Amino acid sequence: MLRTIDHFIGGSTFASGERQGDVFDPNQGQVQANVRFGTAADLQKAVDSAKAAQPAWAATNPQRRARIMFRFRELVEKNMDDLARLLSSEHGKVLADARGDVLRGLEVIEYACGIPQALKGEYTQGAGPGIDVYSMRQPLGIGAGITPFNFPAMIPMWMFGMAIGCGNAFILKPSERDPSVPNRLAELMKEAGLPDGILNVIHGDKEMVDAILDHPDIAAVSFVGSSDIAQYIYSRGTSHGKRVQAMGGAKNHGIVMPDADLDQVVNDLAGAAFGSAGERCMALPVVVPVGDETADRLREKLIPAIQALRIGVSTDPEAHYGPVVSKAHKERIEHYIQMGIDEGGELVVDGRGFKLQGHEEGFFIGPTFFDHVKPSFESYRDEIFGPVLQMVRAKDFDEAVRLPSQHQYGNGVAIFTRNGHAAREFTARVNVGMVGVNVPIPVPVSYHSFGGWKRSGFGDIGQYGQEGMRFWTKNKVVTQRWPDGFVDAGDKGAFHIPTFG
């Protein structure tokens, strides 16, 4: 008997929805559970619950909201191993990577624990004669998050941690491929003391996404996923007057200068390109050595390192990475590998056909490495989102800057060098939102903000940090005067615009 994953609305599980989706065990290639797909009526139930609870939550002082975040953090740490196992069982990433998924989400929760400081406004005494001006940040009301399969713990916590800390109610629509961890996080928030209705989890597919985008009581939507869907989310959401941040796909480049420590580069590339089976928007699937000599030396070191990678089930402590999330996604990755061959790339290491003994039906794919990839290749222009590393050789530094700058995506980029001038020049010139210098996966810490450029990000405000606080709040400015005495009834008001000079 398969278990059924229900919605979490108003502080309890809610079983509704005739349509259901399959939740697979990627290690075995078999269905392990069903998840209910909600309807517009189910969303309305979540909205009604949020509307009833949000005013009192917004009126709760920030310190008390922060205390709930502190307790939630403690509960997540206490349940870390169980969360990691549950996450791995549905996504397929190895346990160490699953713990990292949870921990990076907790970093944003820790930032939200300091929400009283983040929400402080500005104050000017004596802006005019007897006039003071101050500002305050106030919650929007109800926010929603639509999150992807590749980080079922981290990205929901990025969103609801900031939104709830700022005083909003929140409706989460997680990926239908691995929906159990988001439900469990909502249960832990309730256990931490969050009032019922402030965090709701409702499952579904595009029908639910559209219902969220169209609902008049949802003020803001945050999304992470592919670029085409991000653009759709942004366009449809803003057309209904919503505030929208929509993070899309990526094709992150790693620039390798001739003076780089190639042993360190190879170690970094192995993790950044193949960790989590490449299913990261901040993965490093393109390496750009500067000069053929650098490329040849790097290739010589890369091949044995790639061939030594261990692919295993998600519970294997020795495995570098596990299966991809679904059979369809595996077939998509293999399609792009064949495309790269057809386009003229040199397939140096072929990961297709990989079978893990005892798990032959699992969604495994071996590490794949291409050399002599050209910028004109469709397989280079598109996001593959799998364990595939492409080498694009640059003749000089200027070309190495142009490649990521001219790509349709602008999420992340890294440069590997010992030369401070080259690093400084690169970080200033490259047209990409997040840059690493000898850091292969430059995801900003929680008190900065995450956000890509070009087709990697739609909307003007990034995730978490001060940017996140601004996204989930609106600014109110108060101009006040307290006269020394009462106004004479015979005085007439001024009809010109007031000036304070």
272 touches 283 (CB < 8 A): yes
* pLDDT confidence bin for 484, thresholds 50/70/90: confident
Q: Report if residue 286 sits inside a domain.
A: yes
Same domain, 272 and 412: yes
Q: What is the structure's pLDDT at 17?
A: 74
Same domain, 297 and 322: yes
* pLDDT confidence bin for 494, thresholds 50/70/90: low
> What phi and psi values does residue 145 have, to the nearest 5 degrees?
-130, 135
The two three-digit tokens of residue 223, written as one number: 């999304």
pLDDT digits (tens, 9 = 90+) for 5-52: 999 999 999 998 789 999 999 999 999 999 999 999 999 999 999 999
Residue 487 has pLDDT above 60, yes or no: no
> What phi and psi values does residue 119 have, to the nearest 5 degrees?
-85, -5
Same domain, 293 and 327: yes
Same domain, 117 and 242: yes
Least-confidence region, from 43-57, 338-352, 444-458? 444-458
Characterize 161-174 residue by residue with b for buried, 16 or more Cβ atoms within 10 angstroms of its Cβ, and e for exposed: bbbbbbbbbbbbbb
Q: Which of 230, 209, 234, 108 is nearest to 163 (CA)?
A: 108
Characterize 88-120 residue by residue with b for buried, 16 or more Cβ atoms within 10 angstroms of its Cβ, and e for exposed: bbbbbbbbebbbbbbebbbbbbebbbebeebbe
Least-confidence region, from 37-46, 167-176, 484-493? 484-493
Same domain, 96 and 221: yes
* pLDDT confidence bin for 483, thresholds 50/70/90: confident
Q: What is the mean pLDDT of the chain?
A: 95
Q: Which residues are catalytic?
A: 281
Quote the CA–CA distance of 111 and 102 in Å, as a whole number: 15
Same domain, 236 and 263: no
Residue 489 has pLDDT above 70, yes or no: no
Q: Report if residue 447 sits inside a domain.
A: no
Q: Please list the residues that pair with 223 across neighbouring strands.
A: 146, 246
Same domain, 126 and 43: yes
Write the single-letter amino acid at 460: D
Q: Report if residue 281 sits inside a domain.
A: yes
Domain residues for the domain of 66 are 3-248+456-478
Q: What is the structure's pLDDT at 426?
A: 98
Q: What is the structure's pLDDT at 222?
A: 98
Q: What is the structure's pLDDT at 203?
A: 98
Residue with tokens 């579904």: 204
The two three-digit tokens of residue 437, written as one number: 């210098």
Q: Give the predicted TM-score (pTM) of the model.
A: 0.94
Q: Report if residue 306 sits inside a domain.
A: yes
Residue 113 has pLDDT above 70, yes or no: yes
Q: Report if residue 486 sits inside a domain.
A: no
Q: Which of 469, 396, 459, 472 is nearest to 433 (CA)?
A: 459
pLDDT digits (tens, 9 = 90+) for 268-289: 999 999 999 999 999 999 999 9
The two three-digit tokens of residue 322, written as one number: 């596990």
N residues, the chain: 501
* pLDDT confidence bin for 183, thresholds 50/70/90: very high
Quote the CA–CA distance of 453 and 247 in Å, as a whole number: 9
Mean pLDDT of 92-103: 97
Mean pLDDT of 102-124: 96
Q: Which of 10, 27, 14 is nearest to 330 (CA)?
A: 27
The two three-digit tokens of residue 269, written as one number: 């590339």
CB-hemisphere CA count at 13 Å for 274?
A: 29
Same domain, 244 and 259: no
Own/partner pairs, 125-129, CB within 8 angstroms, 24+ separation: 127/479, 127/500, 128/481, 128/498, 128/499, 128/500, 128/501, 129/500
pLDDT above 70 as % of the chain: 97
Alpha helices in 113-167 (DSSP H): 115-118, 154-165
CB-hemisphere CA count at 13 Å for 287?
A: 33
Judge residue 75's burial from the number of C-beta atoms within 10 Å of its C-beta, 0-12 exposed, 13-18 middle, 19 or more buried. middle
Residue 485 has pLDDT above 90, yes or no: no
Q: Which of 70, 113, 166 is nearest to 475 (CA)?
A: 166
Same domain, 229 and 289: no
Quote the CA–CA distance of 312 and 367 in Å, as a whole number: 12
Domain with residue 114: its CATH number is 3.40.605.10
Q: Which helix (H) or strand (E) element contains residue 413?
A: strand 412-416
Number of domains in the chain: 2
In this structure, the strands spanning 20-25 and 30-36 are antiparallel
Count helices and strands (H / E) in the chain. Answer: 16, 23
Mean pLDDT of 403-412: 97
Same domain, 410 and 460: no
463 touches 163 (CB < 8 A): no
Q: What is the structure's pLDDT at 290?
A: 98
Q: Report if residue 445 sits inside a domain.
A: no
Q: Please list the residues that pair with 22 across neighbouring strands.
A: 34
Quote the CA–CA distance of 297 and 290 in Å, as a whole number: 11
476 touches 459 (CB < 8 A): no
In this structure, the strands spanning 199-201 and 169-173 are parallel
pLDDT above 90 as % of the chain: 94
Domain with residue 417: its CATH number is 3.40.309.10
> What phi and psi values does residue 53 have, to the nearest 5 degrees?
-95, -25
Same domain, 93 and 134: yes
Q: What is the structure's pLDDT at 495?
A: 65
Q: Report if residue 488 sits inside a domain.
A: no
Same domain, 174 and 269: no
Q: Report if residue 166 sits inside a domain.
A: yes
> What is the three-class DSSP state of 264?
helix
